[in-house]
Amino acid sequence: MPSPSSFALINPSKGASFMSFWRTVAAVVAPFTSDTYMNTADSLFVIIVTVLTAIGFCLNLLLLYLIIWKSPRSLTPYRIFLANTTITQLLFALFSITSQPRVLSRHQYTIVIYLGPVQYFGEWFSYMSYVGILHLSLNSFISLMLSMIYRYFSIRFHRFSVNVSLILCLIGYSIPFLIYASCSHIVTSSSISVNKAILDGLVENLESYHMVVSTNISNQLPLIILILAVTFGLIPIYFVMYWCRHQIHQTLKQTRSVHSPSTRDNARRLVHALTIQSIIPLVSVFPASTFWCLAQLGIVEPTAYSYFIIPCLSLGCIADPLVTIRCVLPYRRWILNLCNRTNSDMTTSNQDKSTIFQRN
């Protein structure tokens, strides 16, 4: 993203008005930023993150409603895993919209500039909100893997109780939660002088930001583990998911006489949904992780990258519920019926108005 100074160099008055315009739009879209210093790129960042996370939050809220109130009895064990993923994405959207973090890497340091309302709650709460985003991203990968494992065991052994589903979800979440809890004691600094020395002029007007927090990741083991888990943890998760996927298709081929056609179709549809969801991190998490690693090595410019990570990660909380609603038949039917009912009501209303005008 261009820096605000580039606009001023071309035409100072146009640069100032351009900056003021986007600052006003950001204040309307995200009212909590009205007292926050932001340049033009910051304003665009806040607008994009707020819109993406608000859409993701609403879609996941709709999906959670469908899971709780519109799931047939046959989906009872599986909806536990659906709810696990959906609640994780809801919390991710909530953490993202309240923290709005710009993440920079410089040598062995990670520096986070907070543009969301969490900046007013202090250094510790601010940094834990950023770590919270990372641990929720990790849990969303794990929950997808657990859903695929459930599909495999339910097809192969035909038994998978609600209690077992709940226990598996709790065990799956315990891993990112323990890492998250262990990060509560990491050493951070919000000192302007310290952060200016680290960034060495990379960020203009650094002292104008309300909350800038840095940490030396080289001596923070919990943070190293979390970053490695989010960056490279997808490799074993993908291996387990695609092994389960292969086994499910093999089992369905070998047991045609055991499973009914509808059971096989439902299983394939849900596996297809999970396969699509497993591809989403390739366009959301992997690019963000790659740019973070390149910035850490000094290959890419960290200032531009700082605007990239959260919008990129936010794509997942939009795509996941859309894929689930599209591929889980009861949810798709409910949405289609709702749309048809709305169209029918609008048509009836228009016909009534037409009749009234004709009579007049």
Render pLDDT for 24-49 as a digit per residue (tens, 0 to 9): 887 777 777 766 788 888 889 999 99
- Closest C-alpha among 107, 133, 128, 109 to residue 118: 128
Kindly state the average pLDDT of the residues 271-296: 75
Per-residue model confidence (pLDDT) at position 211: 92
Amino acid 10: pLDDT:
46
Q: Give the single-character DSSP code of 189.
A: B
Instruction: Quote the radius of gyration of the chain (alpha carbons, Å).
Output: 24
The tally of CA atoms less than 13 A away on the side-chain side of residue 223 is: 19
Does the pLDDT of residue 263 top 70, yes or no?
A: no
Give the tokens for residue 265. 């179709």
Q: Which of 146-155, 183-192, 196-205, 298-307 has the lowest mean pLDDT?
A: 298-307
Confidence check: pLDDT of 193 > 70? yes
The confidence band for 18, taking pLDDT boundaries of 50, 70 and 90, is: low
Strands (E), the chain: 101-106, 109-114, 212-216
pLDDT above 90: residue 293: no
Q: List CB contacts of 164: < 8 A, sequence separation 6 or more.
A: 77
- On the question of pLDDT at 4 being above 50, the answer is no
Tell me the Ramachandran region of residue 37: left when phi exceeds 0, alpha when psi lies from -120 to 50, beta otherwise.
Answer: beta
pTM: 0.84
Instruction: Give the residue, 52 or 22, on which the prediction is more confident.
Output: 52
Q: What is the pLDDT of residues 48-83, one digit of tens each?
A: 999 999 999 999 999 999 999 998 887 778 899 999
- 134-143, 262-271, 314-323: which has the minimum mean pLDDT? 262-271
Q: Is the pLDDT of residue 323 over 60?
A: yes
Calpha distance 28→31 (Å, rounded) = 5
User: Quick one: tokens of 242?
Assistant: 């695609």
Question: And the tokens for 248?
Answer: 């499910």
Give the pLDDT of residue 259. Answer: 57
CA dist., res. 185 & res. 203, Å (int) = 27
- Output the pLDDT for position 226: 86
Cα gap 145→214, rounded to integer Å: 33
Mind listing the domains of the chain with CATH numbers?
4-329 (1.20.1070.10)
Tell me what pLDDT residue 7 has: 44
Q: Give CA–CA dist 40/62, Å, rounded.
A: 33
